[in-house]
Chain A
Amino acid sequence: MKPFGLTATALSVVALSATAAAARDQIQIAGSSTVLPYATIVAEAFGENTDFPTPVVESGGSSAGLKKFCEGVGENTVDIANASRPIKESEIEACTANGVTDIMEVRIGYDGIVFANQSSGPDFAFTPADWFNALSAKVVKDGAIVDNTAANWNEVNPELPEQAILAFVPGTKHGTREVFEEKVILAGCEESGAMEVFAAEMGDEDKAEEACMTLRTDGKSVDIDGDYTETLARIESDPNGIGVFGLSFYENNTDKLKVATMSGVTPSTETIASGEYPVSRPLFFYVKKAHIGEIPGLKEYAEFFVADELAGPEGPLAQYGLVADPELASVQEAVANETTLSE
């Protein structure tokens, strides 16, 4: 029975070495694909400038990352979750249920969400109300709630070009989708006065909000579940398409994309930092405090990330498109003190 003996030996070797090589010496990170480029820039610099190994950074979306993060404490769980939205109450509960109690929240800066079409296309100057009237499933016409039938942008707002409505918006697994719904569609709903009509009709504010944020499903609004590269490819193949991008992605592809203004403001790191450009959101990463001291370099990495040299307005992250946090000093202090969410 020679082959069986061989297999048994091979298996026992695997089992033996599994127990031998247990200690992990590099940081494991998972989460948002929006934060990924910043995290890789920091991870690379961290590996180059310190004696710690370069952290391993996975992507896959904020929700997927936080789910992995909350799986438990121990060497085979991730140490840090990147997120393009704050952690939800339900996720904190899931964490607590699995023994992940002390979570440090670190805000690294702000990211703008921009709207862009092909660089050869017409110029667009949007307001949130335009987006609501173009993409919402139900709109208000002459005081009555009707199905959205707008086919061209100039039907929504006569000042917009006569171009068929075709929007590529992030899919629901992306953190960007929530920001888009909240800061563009919902804001537009309120701005256009449709919110009041919805609320009066449904008698409930929450239901009205939900009605505002329900996008039409007749093919004018296309969910993109992949990354911004997919949105870019869709826009390149369809001259009518308008896509939702992160500011840093747009800044890396300015030769192919033309950015639209929102409420008259052109998106840039400056206009987002000053708050003039309305569609922006904070970016975070979450650190498992129980792993500090267990995984070498974990706290150093968190401190390195928010150091002025990296996350400051002159640092490489700002160069890549991150809007530096004006309150970076207090973030640095919180990281140094290992302040957790519950404190």
Chain B
Amino acid sequence: MTDIPMSSEAQPRSNSLLSQDARTRKRNATEKRFRMYGVIAIGIAMAALVILLTSIVSDGAGAFRQSYLSIPVALDAETLDPNGNRDPAEMSKVLTLSYGKVLDKAVETAVADSGIAIEGLTSSDTSNLISKEASAQLRNHVLANPEQVGQTVDFNVLVNGRVDGYFKGRVSMESAARDANTSPQQLQLADALKEQGELVTRFNWNFITNPDASDQRPEAAGVGVAIIGSAYMMLVVLFLAVPIGVAASIYLEEFAPQNRWTDMIEVNISNLAAVPSIVFGILGLAAFINFVGLPQSAPIVGGLVLTLMTLPTIIISTRAALKSVPPSIRDAALGVGASKMQSIFHHVLPLAMPGILTGTIIGLAQALGETAPLLLIGMVAFVREFPAAPPEGLWDPASALPVQVYNWTQRADPAFIERASGAIIVLLIFLFCMNLLAIFLRRRFERRW
């Protein structure tokens, strides 16, 4: 705009577009300030998110890597098969505690053979190097292969949580000196074994597939049962909440007369959406466990409770989606002779589908992260058995992902903090995928008028 000739004697008019008067400048400044507030608000939100994610990822990334030690184990026939029949039924009388002793000996021999000499290394330092999970692993292996008793077999066993924490930077030589459960000598031994290549830290699939473990073996704990429990509950919610919610909203939106009753139902649905989730847990305990007699800790009860919790969300979003379909579509369908039912199912519902799906997925994602209602129906528990395949598995006890996080944050061993953050990462990945799916469906099927 520089090519407009400006004569020097002509005073610029007060309402020129080129020079701003005081009021315009003030208005523009206000707008600029408002934009700045917006940027600051987003900045704060982003910073909070970044801090949260970095703290979770830096704490939890370790759970996906685990240290393993490979050692030859001499399967002592006298301890493991006192009768000498190689009969797994008889051999199952030997408890894991005896296998632990076999392993202690194996580790000591392996350390002696490796030629590592560390001053002040006690025998408990050596035997505690490996996880208590190893004895269970060995017992299962021997019972499955009884013919191997008497031979020496190479084994890959988990390393104790403290030593593993040392390789992940959670435990230092200074803290080990004060720690009753490890010692600097043990860590030096682990270092030496790592140099020899016997001890490796690698990706840990077991964190995804293993069930929970007791307080003595944090290194073996995984989220397997929790993932299945959460998946089962989501199945129940999907199969119950979606048909009920969609049917209710179609009726309310398209068929129901406008009267005091439907107004009351509407107010109640909006209220239910804001009820704290623990209330649904109390209801679930009273209605499904004490009255109907469904089992405790079962995903079916969790799913039913979460269904009740998700219904209002689904109904509200479905009604909004139905409302956003223009009336001209309905009028056109009715105009060419379709019944009301046909106009809804052939025209309105397909057009409202993206909105319904988005609402459903957001409702499901909300249900996935819920712990409070599960507390009362016994799902906040230590569960190690994998539930059976559905539908029977829905009645077996299971845990859930947020519950696993809650449980692990209460354990005494500091290694469980890393596990809890790892479980949060798994949960976030699931939520992220669900939200991504919701966005994808909306983009893919959205129609604009």
Contacts and interface: CB of A to CB of B under 8 A. Distances in A.
Interface string B232-248: 00000001100110110
A196 B355 CA distance: 74
Contacts of A249: 412
B243 A254 contact: no
B239 A10 contact: yes
A47 B378 contact: no
Given A76-B296, A254-B179, A47 B247 contact: no
B297 interface: yes
Interface in A9-60: 10-11, 13-14, 17-18, 21, 24, 26, 28, 30, 33, 36-37, 39-41, 43-45, 47-49, 53-54, 56-60
Interface of B: 92, 95-97, 132, 136, 139, 171, 175-176, 178-181, 213-217, 239-240, 243-244, 246-247, 250, 289-290, 292-297, 300, 345, 375, 378, 380-385, 391-392, 394-395, 397, 409-414
Given A14-B300, A41-B215, A41-B216, A54 B240 contact: no
Contacts of A13: 391
Given A41-B216, A251-B180, A28 B243 contact: no
Given A37-B411, A58-B297, A229-B411, A47 B246 contact: no
Contacts of B294: 18, 76
A44 to B, nearest CB: 4
B244 A54 contact: no
A53 B297 CA distance: 15
A4 B378 CA distance: 31
A232 to B, nearest CB: 9
B297 A28 contact: yes
A253 B214 CA distance: 17
Contacts of B250: 3
B139 A48 contact: yes
Contact of B136 (A10, A48, A53): A48
B215 A47 contact: no
A71 B392 CA distance: 26
Given A17-B391, A30-B378, A320-B215, A43 B384 contact: yes
A41 B96 contact: no
9 contacts: A6-B243, A14-B300, A17-B391, A18-B300, A24-B295, A40-B215, A48-B96, A49-B139, A58-B381
A255 interface: yes
A225 interface: no
Interface of A: 2-4, 6-7, 10-11, 13-14, 17-18, 21, 24, 26, 28, 30, 33, 36-37, 39-41, 43-45, 47-49, 53-54, 56-60, 71, 74-78, 119, 226-229, 248-249, 251-255, 309, 315-316, 319-320
Contact of A28 (B214, B375, B378): B378
B295 A54 contact: no
Given A78-B296, A320-B216, A58 B96 contact: no
A248 B215 CA distance: 11
B409 A229 contact: yes
B247 A37 contact: no
Nearest to A9: B243
Given A21-B394, A54-B384, A316-B216, 9 more contacts: A3-B246, A13-B391, A14-B300, A30-B378, A44-B217, A45-B96, A60-B375, A252-B215, A255-B176
Contact of A53 (B289, B385, B391, B413): B385
Contacts of A26: 385, 397
A252 B247 contact: no
A306 to B, nearest CB: 15
B interface SS class: loop
Given A36-B382, A251-B180, A316-B132, A7 B244 contact: yes
A199 to B, nearest CB: 40
A2 B378 CA distance: 35
A94 to B, nearest CB: 15
Pick from B97, B181, B213, B412 the residue with the most CB of A within 10 Å: B412
B95 A49 contact: yes
B385 A254 contact: no
B247 A7 contact: yes
Contact of B413 (A11, A59, A252): A252
Contact of A76 (B92, B295, B392): B295
Contacts of B295: 24, 75-76
A227 B383 CA distance: 20
Nearest to B171: A255
A23 B318 CA distance: 39
Nearest to B292: A18
B392 A21 contact: yes
Nearest to A227: B410
B411 A76 contact: no
A253 B215 CA distance: 13
Contacts of B289: 76
A58 B380 contact: yes
A28 B394 CA distance: 17
A131 B413 CA distance: 28
B214 A43 contact: yes
A253 B182 CA distance: 11
A254 B132 contact: no
A37 B240 contact: no
B378 A58 contact: yes
B214 A2 contact: no
Contact of B247 (A4, A48, A59, A315): A4
Pick from B290, B300, B382 the residue with the most CB of A within 10 Å: B382
Pick from A14, A248, A309, A315 the residue with the most CB of B within 10 Å: A14
A227 B239 CA distance: 37
B439 to A, nearest CB: 26
B247 A229 contact: no
The 9 closest A-B pairs by CB, nearest first: A3-B247, A54-B384, A37-B215, A21-B395, A255-B179, A40-B214, A57-B382, A252-B412, A254-B180
B414 A253 contact: yes
B240 A10 contact: yes
